[in-house]
Structure 1
């Protein structure tokens, strides 16, 4: 298996391929390799939006070879947090990179005018994108698929106007329905005048022991499709969590002022599946079909003429643009999701920013003059749609502040106690208890997918857990996901890829490891990420936790600040800090 890194310099218009066997031998692939390349390529203190700040993509040794190993990791310096930026996307990108023969891609420099990159096997072209600059992210894919080759083995990733205008939480759309959503990769693309990347390839993938490979492949495939291990993701999918968390009093509502939503049933996964589900889509080489596409039908004339829009939805989007904004109609949430898609914005951050702005207006911290007459109110979908446009256009100082994230906006206008971000990253849809708060605070990218602290809280509902037990569970998850994200697998399939199965799968492609070696690798990857975070100014001892977390009942009851402080002390001690 080739272990190649493709380097592309937008400023010089050049590309080169290097064999980096040593890098992959030590760090496996995926996030392990991407972190090392980011440490190599990003100068200390670099402006995240400067030509010196690179973009790194990496896949793992099992991509395109095993079911549900579908992701690609992007590593960059985040313009939102100012430190580690890391995001994952499915779709076809991992497969396309494998067939193009590149396990990692590093994008350096910046172009003088809008461009897109075309990668076909070893051939790299930097092409003019002036004609598609300013075009919505939802449209760019349709344009490029007609002018680029590689149908069936191709991935098209692109930004929208939000990334072009450097909104700090702009994302990158991947193959229509997937995203590098969090921490502002879209703005980094925009700073480089990079509109899109198209990847395709025709390389064969060889395995050293086909018989061993078939044996473990068949076992994993049967587990994925013939057991209930991943069934819930196909049926209703993650939106099933709306009703579940609502019943547990763990569903953030109206900017975390409440933890249950009276309109939850109307935006629930069950209602969407019954009334709006159009189809399910899978990432390349995954048989599950967890991507749920809703159909929104709207009239545009009196003569019964309609527009049909197909909109991907999941739990986090329904929380951020639904319960957290008090939006109680499925149509309203789908409208807001599509607006974020069109502009190329991270829906989680957008929802949290709008929720803070709504409360700030209600409390008199900002005025209608600053909102340009947009009367932000809970459940006011038209006003939120207008506000999204104003954020991308940065129509005035207030909207320009919102475009830099909820922490920046609250520092400018006040209301930091209800600016719901941890590590400067707007929080996901869980108010479950202390493990969620601590997990988001200490996680390498301040995401629920770092260590699933919310699931530890849910375990605590069934059996009481001490602060030490919760911290130990967070650390185990942080470290183990470092390995899994180096493969790079879909986290929905973590129950399928047990340590035993991972070792067998790696062995079938010529990588012999022990369970102890993988455990040690996970710890080292975590430490390397924190090395980058500290280098760029992150200090866990100065972590800011909004007071609102302590004011609203969670799934496990009221959260005690002393419990959070104790868990943070235990965490630092366990890590040896």
Structure 2
């Protein structure tokens, strides 16, 4: 049923009470990222820290979720342990479709459980289970147990944390259905602070599809665009891991804590090598026909006999860059072994790899000693890195406790800020140049997906600050519209404005088509306003020295250009996030 309001379930873990609320605002925020910001404004607290029990953890979907292919993501919003400001993360798996089948536009969780708890919600259900016995369970083990506790069909989605979330690591992730994650900015720690080990979403109700010929005809057209053209073929083929060789050729591949931007050994961990030597199968998020999830296998031999244990580990470009190139681990199976431990501990793989790369260089330079690292971190030594990952998830000393709060926080305490590869959070894998570094460093959620700055660098040799700035604002706003839907950003080449308008029309939201661009503007401002109210100062952001020392395909980095763009982008952010009374 098409509705102009949002159906929101609000669960208070402290009191055990649950409310279903019908909230207006579809025409103001659409859904997804807009709905999440709207809900944080209603239920969140600007004047309280991230771990205050009453701060909300929000999961929101969009108006096209369940109706069209690749409208398969969920937006998770919270006040981040990383910087104590509003943020969001995105994940696929089955979470979005399960919320749709539960007849919910959003789930809001507040309060704190007295003991470690698992929460199960559905269209007419809210149940909590005491799972204190699961404290310390890794994320994979937790998933196995939860599937037995909360049996269900393919419409069931299981979200859980590992030890890192329980120990409040600032980059603890939320594992979604094993191979997907709310990875960045510490959503896992927010769950841990609420004594919430897991969330099971049961899609226990159906929903009607639009009547008439327009909807099935459009669905078929979009499906064909996604499956029979070359537009999405690379995501199913080698996946994003295909980026390793091209970025290496462009001298834009972060390597050895960004001491290099290319390496002759990159071929050993390329997408082609992973596919030839490790690929087991492809998987897909619910509601997606593309199948971009690439699952490799790790083989371990038992010492007592000749038998082997095989484990499945998901991979794509970002995990390979972070735990391969940044650590100079140049054997594909060894990269997967590190990723396997990261999965179990429940850490974000990008932040973990970049943090350990900084620690390795800091140890090499004598900034820290083995008394801090406990193990002798060394480039390419996967065994030692696996031990270090476990100590990040379950800190054994003050050094690992601080490193688990963020690389730059640790560098400020021990030294080595100049070579900390942090752009708001530990960097994504694109050493493409000035526009990307500014884009991620000042971006709303410090993600490579805030805008296509990495792509802009690869296509433009000019150094026009205004042109680059206009691109960042416009491209960011267009992505926000898709994040309101909430669609996979891989599909942005398919879901252009005209097609989105047609899709909205076919499911009954045609009256919103004329205002979608306006809604994108509004949501962009809403999100920035939340961050600025919580203390964000984009004009004070600094880009570490390491980024000024690199060379890309365009030559040495232009620090003047980067600084001018940084100042211009900061000014535009302050303008977009100005108080409401200044909007007119």
TM-score (ref. length: structure 2): 0.96
Q: How far did residue 188 of structure 1 move?
A: 0.5
> Which residue pairs with 2:373 in the alignment?
371
- Which segment drifts farther, 155-164 or 562-571? 562-571
User: 1:35: Cα distance to partner?
Assistant: 0.9
Deviations 1:227-285 (A, max 9, x none): 11100000000000111100110000111110012321111110110111000001101
- Distance (Å, rounded) in 1 between the aligned partners of 2:571 and 2:299: 55
Distance in 2 of aligned mates of 1:303 and 1:208: 59
Moved more, 235-244 or 127-136: 127-136
- Decide whether the 8 Å contact of 1:207 with 1:508 is kept in 2: no
Tell me how far apart the structure 1 counterparts of residues 573 and 397 of structure 2 sit (CA, whole Å): 44
Return the offset for 1:516: 5.5
Is the contact between residue 503 and residue 513 of structure 1 (CA under 8 Å) also seen in structure 2?
A: no
Partner of 2:541: 543
For residues 481-530 of structure 1, the C-alpha deviation after alignment (integer angstroms, 9 at most, x for no partner) is 11100100011111111111100111111112566522221121111111
Moved more, 273-282 or 195-204: 195-204
**Which residue is equivalent to 1:259?**
261
Correspondence for 1:74 among 73, 76, 88:
76
Residue in 1 that maps onto 2:21: 18
Distance of aligned partners of 1:17 and 1:126 in 2 relative to their CA distance in 1, 3 Å threshold: same
C-alpha offsets along residues 144-193 of structure 1, whole Å, 9 cap, x if unaligned? Answer: 11221321111001000110111110000000100000000000000000
- In structure 2, relative to structure 1, the CA distance for the partners of 1:75 and 1:575 (3 Å cut) is closer
Correspondence 1:7 to 2:10: yes
**Residue 179 of structure 1 pairs with residue 177 of structure 2:** no
Equivalent positions of 1:379-528 (< 5 A) are 379-423=380-424, 425-460=425-460, 464=462, 466-513=464-511, 517-528=515-526
Cα pair 1:149 1:200 within 8 Å, conserved = no
Mapped contact 2:423–2:442 kept (Cα < 8 A): no
Partner of 1:196: 198
1:569 equivalent to 2:567? Answer yes
Q: Distance in 2 between matches of 1:456 and 1:181?
A: 25
CA contact (8 A) 2:323 2:338 kept: yes
Structure 2 counterpart SS, 1:485: helix
Q: CA deviation at 1:576?
A: 7.2
Q: Structure 1: how far apart are the matches of 2:212 and 2:353?
A: 48
Contact 2:77-2:86 within 8 A present in 1 as well: yes
User: Which stretch shows the higher mean deviation, 321-330 or 294-303?
Assistant: 294-303
Runs ≥4 residues deviating over 6 A: none
Matched residues in 1 for 2:62 and 2:397: separation? 44
Q: Distance in 2 between matches of 1:292 and 1:337?
A: 13
Return the offset for 1:353: 0.6
Equivalent in the alignment of 1:36: 38
Contact 2:346 2:393 (8 Å CA) reproduced: no
Does residue 362 of the first structure (1) align with residue 360 of the second (2)? no
* Structure 2: tracts of 5 or more residues without a match: 576-584
Whether contact under 8 Å (1:352, 1:426) holds in the other structure is yes
Kept in 2: contact 1:166–1:187 (CA 8 A): yes
Correspondence for 2:101:
99
Between the two proteins, the alignment pairs up a number of residues equal to 572
Specify whether residues 513 and 443 from structure 1 end up closer, same or farther in structure 2 by C-alpha distance, changes over 3 A only: farther
1:209 to partner: Cα distance: 4.0
Asked if 2 retains the 8 angstrom alpha-carbon contact of 1:444 and 1:526, the reply is no
Return the alpha-carbon distance in structure 1 between the equivalents of residues 526 and 414 of structure 2.
Answer: 36
> Structure 1, unaligned stretches of length 5 or more?
none
1-structure distance, mates of 2:504, 2:153? 29
Contact residue 121 and residue 201 of structure 2 kept, 8 A: yes
Whether the 8 Å CA contact 1:42–1:54 is kept in 2: the answer is yes
Q: Helix, strand or coil: the match of 2:525?
A: helix
CA offsets 1:392-430 (integer angstroms, 9 cap, x no match): 22211111111111011011101111111122x111001
* Per-residue deviation, 1:557: 2.2
Secondary structure of 1:44 counterpart:
coil
Q: CA RMSD in A?
A: 1.4
CA drift of 1:122 comes to 1.6
Q: Residue 252 of structure 1 contacts residue 260 of structure 1 at CA under 8 Å; is this kept in 2? A: yes
| Equivalent residue number for residue 314 of structure 1 | 316
DSSP-derived class of the 1:82 partner: coil
Q: 1:494 to 1:513 in 2, by over 3 A?
A: farther
SS in 2 for 1:404: coil
Aligned to 2:127: 125
Per-residue Cα deviation, 1:349-370 (whole angstroms, up to 9, x for no partner): 0011101111111111111112
| Distance (Å, rounded) in 2 between the aligned partners of 1:249 and 1:572 | 28
For the residue of structure 1 that corresponds to 2:431, the secondary structure is coil
Once residues 441 and 357 of structure 1 are traced to their aligned partners in structure 2, the CA distance between those partners, rounded to angstroms, is: 21
Q: Distance in 1 between matches of 2:567 and 2:170?
A: 31
Counterpart for residue 164 of structure 2? 162
What do the CA deviations read for 1:40-96 (whole angstroms, capped 9, x no partner)? 222113221220221000000111110111000000011012212210000001000
Contact preservation (8 Å) 2:86, 2:531? yes
1:4-43 Cα offsets, whole Å, 9 max, x none, are: 00000000011110011x2223110000000111122221
CA drift at 1:431:
0.4
Q: Cα deviations across residues 196-246 of structure 1 (Å, max 9, x unaligned)? A: 000112322224443221121111011011111100000000000111100
